[in-house]
């Protein structure tokens, strides 16, 4: 299969590309910079220049492909709505090209905030009024009615592994700055997590097998307590671990406070049964214990 991948040089995309190539697929990666183009070519994939604002480039990539994996997203939380709007336009442009072809389109959403306080499942649907990216997921799923074999991979808030630049490194940076590794209130709230290599395999299986309109959960650790994350950070940075009251979370964590306070366990049981996906790589706490997140602090 010839697969067009947006975000091919990113943290997850750079794992998805070799996963696809190893399974015998051809890969064309979207690159907006010389550095991205070089990384994609070095991985053994073809390069198509363009970015998420270049809808003509997205259409061309989709037109020439047997399937599309859309990973690219502008991770600017200060302008999250604008980033989600760009993502929506990209999904709509790609979807219009694939309409009526039964070719696969795999897009990306998240489990965080899906079902606060209870175990989220693939049957849950986001409220588009509260979640701009959830809105985009619903647009993806609706493409199934237009002859696109569309599916949405909901990723855990922690997609971890070497090179991670996501939420856990932010928590580590805050701990270094504040001199304590903190959790909020009793730290009993739960996050989910998945290793980037397990996530990459899920994207490939979605491309190859997922029925139209599928929701898939990229969840290996169904519930990791916030306190356990803080304790792992505390251990490696040799800092005290403390509780921060909810009322002070924004002052201590900044924009990260609202996210780190969420109680958002989620299951991937239906995904595993549908696709035969079984995570095999280290869980989040095991990955933290490996030490690579803290390598620069321990030199």
pTM for the predicted model, two decimal places: 0.96
- Domain boundaries along the sequence of the chain: 2-156+195-220, 159-192+222-265+281-297
The secondary element (H helix, E strand) that includes residue 183 is strand 181-184
What is the C-alpha separation between 284 and 278, in angstroms, rounded?
A: 16
Q: What is the pLDDT of residue 299?
A: 37
Query: Per residue of the chain (299 residues), what is the pLDDT tens digit?
Result: 999 999 999 999 999 999 999 999 999 999 999 999 999 999 999 999 999 999 999 999 999 999 999 999 988 877 889 999 999 999 999 999 999 999 999 999 999 989 988 999 999 999 888 888 899 999 999 999 999 999 999 999 999 999 999 999 999 999 999 999 999 999 999 999 999 999 999 999 999 999 999 999 999 999 999 999 999 999 999 999 999 999 999 999 999 999 999 999 999 999 999 999 999 999 999 999 999 999 864 43
What is the C-alpha separation between 222 and 87, in angstroms, rounded?
A: 27
Instruction: Tell me which of 3.90.25, 3.90.920, 3.30.70, 3.30.420 is the CATH number of domain 159-192+222-265+281-297.
Output: 3.90.25
Say whether 150 sits in a helix, a strand or coil: strand
What residue has token string 């991770």? 75
Q: Which two tokens stand for residue 102?
A: 């039964």
Domain 2-156+195-220: CATH architecture, name and number where available: 3-Layer(aba) Sandwich (3.40)
Residue 95, CA distances (Å) to 101, 102, 203, 259 in order: 10, 11, 18, 31
Tell me whether strands 67-70 and 46-49 are parallel, antiparallel or unpaired: unpaired
What is the C-alpha separation between 156 and 18, in angstroms, rounded?
A: 21
What is the C-alpha separation between 48 and 30, in angstroms, rounded?
A: 5
- Among 205, 198, 233, CA closest to 219: 198
């Amino acid at each position: 299969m010839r697969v067009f991948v947006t975000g091919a040089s990113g943290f997850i995309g750079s794992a998805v590309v070799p996963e696809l190539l190893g399974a015998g697929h051809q890969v064309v990666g979207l690159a907006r910079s010389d550095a991205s183009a070089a990384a994609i070519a070095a991985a053994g994939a073809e390069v198509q220049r363009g970015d998420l604002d270049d809808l003509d480039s997205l259409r061309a990539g989709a037109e020439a492909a047997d399937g599309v994996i859309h990973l690219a997203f502008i991770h600017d939380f200060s302008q999250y709505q604008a980033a989600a709007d760009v993502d929506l336009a990209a999904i709509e442009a790609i979807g219009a090209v694939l309409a009526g072809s039964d070719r696969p389109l795999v897009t990306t959403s998240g489990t965080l905030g899906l079902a606060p306080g209870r175990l989220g499942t693939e049957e849950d649907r986001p409220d588009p009024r509260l979640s701009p990216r959830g809105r985009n997921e619903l647009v993806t799923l609706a493409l199934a009615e237009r002859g696109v074999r569309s599916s949405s991979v909901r990723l855990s808030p922690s997609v971890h592994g070497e090179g991670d630049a996501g939420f856990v490194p932010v928590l580590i940076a805050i701990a270094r700055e504040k001199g304590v590794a903190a959790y909020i209130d009793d730290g009993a709230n739960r996050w989910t997590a998945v290793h980037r290599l397990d996530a990459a395999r899920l994207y490939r299986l979605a491309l190859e097998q997922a029925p139209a309109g599928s929701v898939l959960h990229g969840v290996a650790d169904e519930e990791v307590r916030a306190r356990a994350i803080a304790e792992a950070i505390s251990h490696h940075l040799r800092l005290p671990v403390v509780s921060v009251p909810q009322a002070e979370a924004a002052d201590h964590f900044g924009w990260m406070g609202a996210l780190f306070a969420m109680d958002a366990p989620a299951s991937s049981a239906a995904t595993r049964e549908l696709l035969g996906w079984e995570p095999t790589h280290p869980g989040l706490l095991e990955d933290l214990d490996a030490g690579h997140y803290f390598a620069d602090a321990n030199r």
